[in-house]
Amino acid sequence: MSTIYQGNWPNNVSRDAKYSVRQEAGAYVVGMLYETDEGEKWHPTTDKHPRLVEMVNAVKTEINGTQGGPFYINEWRQVIVPAGRPVTYYLAGDYPADLEFEFEGKVISGKPYDFDGGPLAPGCTWTGPHVGIPYVLKPQGRDIYYTRTVGAKVTKDEKLSAYADPAKVAELGQKIVRVAGFGGGRFYVNEFRQIFKPQSDGDSVEYIYVGALTENDPWYPRPHSENAHP
C-alpha cells in the first residue's frame, strides 16, 4: 500500500520542472526536459537508475494501473510520485544516488556547476535542471513558507519560523535576499540542497543560483519523521 506524502510538493509546475520515468528502446529509463537559453528543448535520459525506476513504477502501477510518468526528489532525497485522479502525492521511499544526465557532450545535474565543470557562485545563472521543491520567501526575507492543504477547501501556510528559531530563519532569509533581492517570491531547493530562484524581467524568466542550504541553516523537519507535522 503506497504511503500518501505529508510534506511539501510541487504543483502546477512547468514541463521542465519534473523528472519522469519513460520508455526508451523497450525499457523504462529516467528522463527530463531541459530548455536552453537558445530555445532548444533537450530530452536527456539515463538507464543507470533501475531501482529508482522500480520505485516510481510501483506507485504508478498501484494507483494508475500503468507505468511511467513524472516524479520529484526533495531535499531529503525522498522520491515523491503524483498519481491518481484527483492527483495525490505518494512517498515512494528514499533514493540517495545522484541523478546526472549526459547530453550533447554536457553533464546536466542539480549540482552547482556550469557545463564546463566550473563551480557556480551565488548570483550566477543557474544552468542545472529546474526540478526542485518550491518555497516562498516573504518580502525583505522576514520568513519562508509553503502552503499545504489541511482539509476540504482549507489551506495553511507552513512558516519556517514555526519550526525553527525566527532569528535564524531571518538570517537564512537575508542570505537569499542578498542574491535575489528584497522582493521575496518563490525559490526552489533541489535534491542536492541547492537553492535557485526565478527572476523575471516581464518578457522572460531567468533562474539564478542562490547557494546551498547547509547543515547550519534552519529548515523544516524531514517529512514523515517524529517531529514533522501530521
Mean pLDDT over the full length of the chain: 94
Q: What is the pLDDT of residue 39?
A: 85
Distance CA 193, CA 179 (A): 17
Please check the confidence at residue 38 and state whether its pLDDT lies above 90.
Answer: no
Mean pLDDT calculated for residue range 79-108: 95
Percent of the chain scoring above 90 in pLDDT: 81
Cell numbers that stand for 54 in this block: 522500480
Mean pLDDT calculated for residue range 98-103: 96
Mean pLDDT calculated for residue range 118-138: 95
Dihedral pair phi/psi, residue 85, rounded to 5°: -135, 115
Distance CA 9, CA 81 (A): 10
Q: Which residues pair with 28 in a beta bridge?
A: 23
Please state the domain extents for the chain.
3-109
More confidently predicted of 87 and 11: 87
Q: What is the pLDDT of residue 54?
A: 98
Q: What is the pLDDT of residue 149?
A: 86
Please check the confidence at residue 201 and state whether its pLDDT lies above 80.
Answer: no
pTM: 0.94
181 to each of 20, 104, 137, 200, how far by Cα in Å? 33, 34, 10, 12
What is the per-residue pLDDT across 172-197, written as a single tens digit (0 to 9) for each? Answer: 999 999 998 888 899 999 999 999 99
What is the per-residue pLDDT across 41-70, written as a single tens digit (0 to 9) for each? Answer: 999 999 999 999 999 999 999 999 999 999
Please check the confidence at residue 112 and state whether its pLDDT lies above 90.
Answer: yes
Please check the confidence at residue 202 and state whether its pLDDT lies above 80.
Answer: no
More confidently predicted of 204 and 189: 189
Please check the confidence at residue 28 and state whether its pLDDT lies above 90.
Answer: yes
DSSP 8-state symbol, 57: H
* pLDDT band for position 230 (cuts 50, 70, 90): low
H helix or E strand, kind and range, residue 175:
helix 166-180
Q: At residue 229, what is the residue type?
A: H
Q: What is the pLDDT of residue 203?
A: 73
Q: What is the pLDDT of residue 123?
A: 95
60, burial (CB in 10 Å: exposed 0-12, middle 13-18, buried 19+): buried
Q: What is the pLDDT of residue 150?
A: 84
Distance CA 121, CA 8 (A): 27
